[in-house]
Every structure is written in structure tokens, then in C-alpha cells.
Structure 1
Amino acid sequence: MAVPPHPKVHTPPGPPPPSPRWPDRAPRLAAAWAAGYAAVEITWATTATTVPWKAHASYAPAVQLLLAALALLAGAASLAPTRTLAATALTATLPVFAIGAIGLPVHFVTLVTLSGVESATGLAQVLLNTAGAALLFLVLLAHRRRLRGDCPRCGRPHPVPTDEPLVHPAPTRPSARTRTAAYLLMCGLLPWAGVKTIWLLGGDALGVAAADWQRTTDAGASGPAKAAASVGVDITVAAAAVGVLLLLGLLHPWGQVFPRWTAFLSGRRVPRLLPLLPAWLTGIPLTLYGTLLVLLAPLMATGALPVLQPSPPFTTSSGVTWMVEFGGLAFAGLGLALLVAAHSYATRTRPRCPTAARPPQLTPAR
């Protein structure tokens, strides 16, 4: 009995298509960022410019020079022809700049509430770290996809690279497990938001009187913050509500297709990066900062770390410790919820190249 020949995959003839777009652009942009970042850090270090990284603490010149060297290493790795070596170098340097972007949500809240910029150099440092972390992540993603033999543009295996428009999937909802995890994590906001709302409504909590809280916050509050407080809304709670709205958009179909009430945009596809960029840029710093607070509070409560001394409006160290824990739960909870939802959104909305979206053509062997 004759065995039928195996079918062969037909490869269309012709010149090779143009190379993928963003995977080729990201390394050059990362190298340009690295050169600019290193120049800024060296300038700040040699001119003894104050660049705060937290309240009452600034970067030492030696640290700034080290950051400049790491940025140049990351930029060189982005252009390196050896993908394995480049991926290793990027994996080692990326966390440094991601940690440097932790303060982004804090600066965002101060800008939105018109509270002013505490430090222009501090804000510039955070923005530079954020841009670098984003670019290095894209370069690392493209390198790893190439190492796996996948298309660096869409991340799926297909034989013929293409520069044709990507095919976008239809809107879908995440799984029930993903939605449940995101909503449970979001509940971490409740203790923190609840205490602040109690103070604004005239109640006492954690040993802090409402009048003392109002007096302390009004001293440094901006006009919008005072206007919101006058109607019982804490401006930081309102900022958290914006994060919750972003989270809901990542979990529902209206975050993939503009709903009817958006007038001229109704029915159009939402650009993927429109919700993903703010989700990643706020989710990662919030998670890191919130996790740190969640871990610090029990250590202070048990005496493993020095207890924070109360400062107005707080009257007891225990009240400060509880507020640190509540803040950690809020920041880490919302940050992790955004990351969980963003991962699901990115997976569900990830487009694919046309050659990966259609099955390969088979022709019988001769």
C-alpha cells in the first residue's frame, strides 16, 4: 500500500517583505534615550544639582554617574547583534529604571490637583526613568520573541514576515477568574478611602480629629483640592477613582470599542495603548510602593523597625502605622488590579499579522 506524500507548506514567491516596524525602531529609540539620559545624569552630577528621590533625600553624584553608565550599557545592548547577550543585559538593567519610575503616580496626583511641582529635577528624573523603562521593555520583548522564533511584531509563529496592517480581534470580556481577582484587589482601597472620607465628613479615626486633619491638609492644599474637600471628596480619593475607572475599562468591552455616548468616536476601536500605557505606568509603581508600605507597617508594629513618630494631625505612633498599612493596601491593591486587568486586556486585544491570522496554503507534493 502506497503511503501518500506529506503536504508541503507553500511559500509565496517574490521579494522579501519589509521588516517589522516597531521592533526595528525601538532599539534606535532606546539608544537615543540612553545617550540623552547619560548626558543629563552626568551634567547633574558634575554641577551638584539636587535631584530628590524621596522627601528630604537626594541622589548622590556617584549614584547619578552609575545610572549614566547603566543607561549607556542598556543602550549598547539594545543595538547589540547578539540577541542572547542583549536580552541578558536588558533584563539586568530594566528593573533599575523601573524602580526609578515609582514616584510617577505621586507626581501625577500633584499635577492633576494643581498642587504644584515640588521639584522640577525630581519630576524630570522620574519621567526619564519611565521613558527608559518603557523603551527597554519593548526592545527586550522584541529580542525574546526573535529568540523563540516568533514574529517580533505580533509575537506569533508564522513563516513569512509582513508589514501589512495588523488584524485586530473582536471585543471580548476577561475570564471570571480574572474579573474576580481584579475586583478583590481593588477592595484594598476601602480602608484607606474610608478613613479619609470619615475625616472629611467630620468624624474621628486612628486617633486623628477631623478638625486637625482639615487644618493640616488645608494648609498645603490647592484650590481644586479645597473645593473638592468642601463637598466631602478627598482629592486623592478622587484620583484613585480615576484609576478604578481605568480598571473597569480594561475589564469591559467598552474599553475596546468606544461606547455610544462618545459621540464621534462611537463604534470605533480603542487604540490598545490608550488604556494600556496609563495602566502599566501607574500599576507598576503603585504595586512596588504599596508592597513596600505593606511590609514596613508590620515590621514597625512588632518593633523590628523603628516606629514612626507622630506628626500633626496624627497623635499616636499606632495611628501612623495603621495609615501606612492602609495606604500600602490601597496602592498595592489598585496597582496589582491594574496589572492583572492590563495583562488580560493586552492578551485579548493583541493583534496579529495577516499571515498568522489565516491558515497556511497547502499544496500536494509532486
Structure 2
Amino acid sequence: PDPGLPSPEPGWRVWPRQWPRWAPYATAVWGVVYAAVQTVWAATGTTVPWSPHVAYAPGVELALAVLALLAAGVCLATPWPLARRGRVTVAAVLAVAIPVFAMGMASLPAYVVTLAALSGVESATGFAHVLLNTVGLALLLLVGVSHRRRLRNRCPRCGAGHPGDGSGPLVHPPASVATRPTRIQVYLLMCGLLPWAVVKTIWTLGGDALSVTAEKWREENAGGSGAAKALASVGIDVTVLAALAGIFLLLGLMYPWGQVFPRWTPLLTGRRVPRLLPLLPAWLSAIGLSVYGVVLVIYAPLSAAGALPRIEPDGTFTSSAGITWMVLFGGLAFGGLGFALITAARSYATRTRPACANAATDAMPGK
């Protein structure tokens, strides 16, 4: 190579920049794999749980397979100029596929918590199904964003209006704090965790609450992992610890140390935080938590009022009122954390959105 020219960048640095190019093809591969897995499960009668007590019917699995293939087909068409009918078809398929596959990965936070607690996975097929939906949802969102930007004659990668193919270096904005209204909204939503966390902590510390005795609580959790038992011995419930991790993520999304590694990260101090490092877990957790929380918050009062079947006490709870209150507290906690993550992640994504270097140069004064 000519010594006067700069050395070419390694592929591992260039490849992520070119995601608008490869995302449609990666989505097509995912669609074929997803359809094949769903078809095999339906043909063999494999149990794939949707909830602890409900499994996907073979007909539903085949419908999901068809939808995945349709999504794969329209994604392959997005990089090309499309007539009005083609644009409508792409928009319609993505409008259906994205919510469907988002619902399919809604239980991802629950699997993450059980794995973090070293409690194992209750259903291997259920976990595989959630992971397949998660990968598909992420790819479909990438394709949807780049397609929408192309339709607006914008750069499919950064969204700015500039010449070029959008494959060069990126310019990142300086670290910043979320706006005051955003911070207030997030803190208010975080308060939804308090009733649920207080009750869980009372049980873990040996107290009685909501018709559940400390003895019964210990019996029900006797089969937990060693890590969960060790945390419980010092009054920390593993799910409360997971919620604290969510709060840590929220703070990182709102303050500069979530964009530039702070001093208490010795080997990384001063380096830019990869944008997807906080955004990916935030978005993936927020979807499931917010949906689950809304369902519980709606169901609990309707059940108490008799509009829906009353929630019957199980082996831990001894009264219907106690378990109904806990369902409501859980809805406030999960929904509050989920919507707080959505709010903070939107702010973080806006504040940290990079621009292609040529777009930043064109925007300079005098250009």
C-alpha cells in the first residue's frame, strides 16, 4: 500500500458502522431460522411455554413462522427504491411483526433474574423462544429505523441530511445530563418500586406482611440457589437486588458517567461508553417490564371489584386480599421501572446520537 495513504481500519471497527447495509440480510437469515424452529416445534408437539401455565398452540407457532418469513421478505426489499404499494406493504408487515415479537420477548427480564440468581432455567424451549424473539425484534427495529430514514432522504445510519453513503467515521456529542423534566419523571416512576421492595424486604428479614408469614416465605424459597439464600440471610431478596441494578442503569442513562467511564472504573476512566452498552439492556428490559406492569395494575383492582375472577391465595398467601395487594405492588414496581427505563433511554439515545463526520463538517460555520 501507498505509505502516503492512511492505513485501512480493521474490519471489526468498520462493520458496526455499516449496520444499515447488513441489517436487512441478517433479519432475513433470522426469519428463516425462526420459521424453521417454530415449524419443528409445532410438528413435534414440543411444549413452548408462553406463561408458567400456558403453552403456545401449534397453530400459533405456525402463524409466527409465517410472520417471520413475511418480515424477512420485506426487510430484504427495504434497501431498494419502492413504489407506493411496496412501501405500504413494508410498513404494514413491520407494524404487525414488531409488536408480536416484542410480546414474545416480554419475559426476558424474568429469565435474566433467574439466571443471575443461579436458579437455572425452568424451560429451555421457553428461553430459546424468548432469545429468538429478542434477536428478531432488535434486527427489525434496526431495519425499520434505516428504512424510515431512507424514505425521508436522510442518512440511514445517523439520520442527518448529507451526501455520501454513511459508512465513514462518526462524531459523538459531549457528555450531558438529562433534562430536568426527564429526571423528575424518572424519579417519580422509580417510586413505584417502594411498596413492592418494602414488602419483599420484610419477608426476607423475617417479618409478616400481606397474610404471608416469614416461616411460609422461607419454606417457599427453600429450593432457591445458594446465592439467593446467601443474600436472603442478610435481608436482601434477589429480585430487589435486580431492581437495584435497574436503578443503577437508570442513573447511568441520565448522568454523564453513563457516557464517559468515571474515575471508579480504573482501566476505562475517561473513555467513551459504547452507546449500546446501556441502551440495549434498557430497551430489552423496558418492553417486558412495562407490558407486564400494566397488565398487573389493571388486573388487580378489577379483580378486587369483582369485574374479573378474584385472585385466589396460593401456598404462600393465606388471603385473597393479601395476594391482590401484592399483584398491584408488583405491577407498580415492574411498570414503574419499565416506563422509567423507556423515558431515560429515549433521553440517552437523543443526547448521545452520533453524526457522520461529513455531516458534522458540513454543519460547521462557514461551510
TM, length-normalised to structure 2: 0.91
Q: Say which of 184, 188, 203 aligns to 2:188.
A: 184
Shift of 1:161: 3.5
Shift of 1:361: 9.0
Shift of 1:325: 0.4
Amino acid at match of 1:117: V
Match for residue 296 of structure 1?
299
Query: Is 1:240 matched with 2:237?
Result: no
Q: Say which of 163, 169, 177 aligns to 1:165.
A: 169
Amino acid at match of 2:220: T
User: Is the CA contact (8 Å cut-off) linking 1:169 and 1:348 kept in structure 2?
Assistant: yes
In structure 2, the residue corresponding to 1:350 is in which secondary structure? coil
Amino acid at match of 2:106: I
* Distance (whole Å) between structure 2 residues aligned to residue 186 and residue 360 of structure 1: 39
Shift of 1:355: 2.1
Give the alignment of 1:87-236 within 5 angstroms: 87-218=91-222, 220-236=223-239
Amino acid at match of 1:314: F
Structure 1 runs of 4+ off > 4 angstroms? 360-363
Alignment root-mean-square deviation, CA = 1.6
Shift of 1:144: 0.6
Alignment CA distance shift 1:360-1:323 (3 Å): closer
- Rg larger in 1 or in 2? 1
1:89-123, Cα deviation, whole Å (9 max, x unpaired)? 21221110000001100100110001111000000
User: Is the CA contact (8 Å cut-off) linking 1:310 and 1:320 kept in structure 2?
Assistant: yes
Shift of 1:360: 5.8
User: Is the CA contact (8 Å cut-off) linking 1:250 and 1:341 kept in structure 2?
Assistant: yes
- Which runs of no fewer than 5 residues in structure 1 stay unpaired? 1-19
* Distance (whole Å) between structure 2 residues aligned to residue 40 and residue 228 of structure 1: 38
Aligned residues: 344
Match for residue 263 of structure 2?
260
In structure 1, the residue corresponding to 2:265 is in which secondary structure? helix
1:243-268, Cα deviation, whole Å (9 max, x unpaired)? 11111111110000011121121100
Percent of paired sites with the same residue: 60
User: Is the CA contact (8 Å cut-off) linking 2:169 and 2:357 kept in structure 1?
Assistant: yes
Match for residue 28 of structure 1?
25
Shift of 1:362: 10
Amino acid at match of 2:55: S
Match for residue 318 of structure 1?
321
TM, length-normalised to structure 1: 0.91
Alignment CA distance shift 1:266-1:303 (3 Å): same
Amino acid at match of 1:359: D
Match for residue 10 of structure 2?
none
- Which runs of no fewer than 5 residues in structure 2 stay unpaired? 1-16
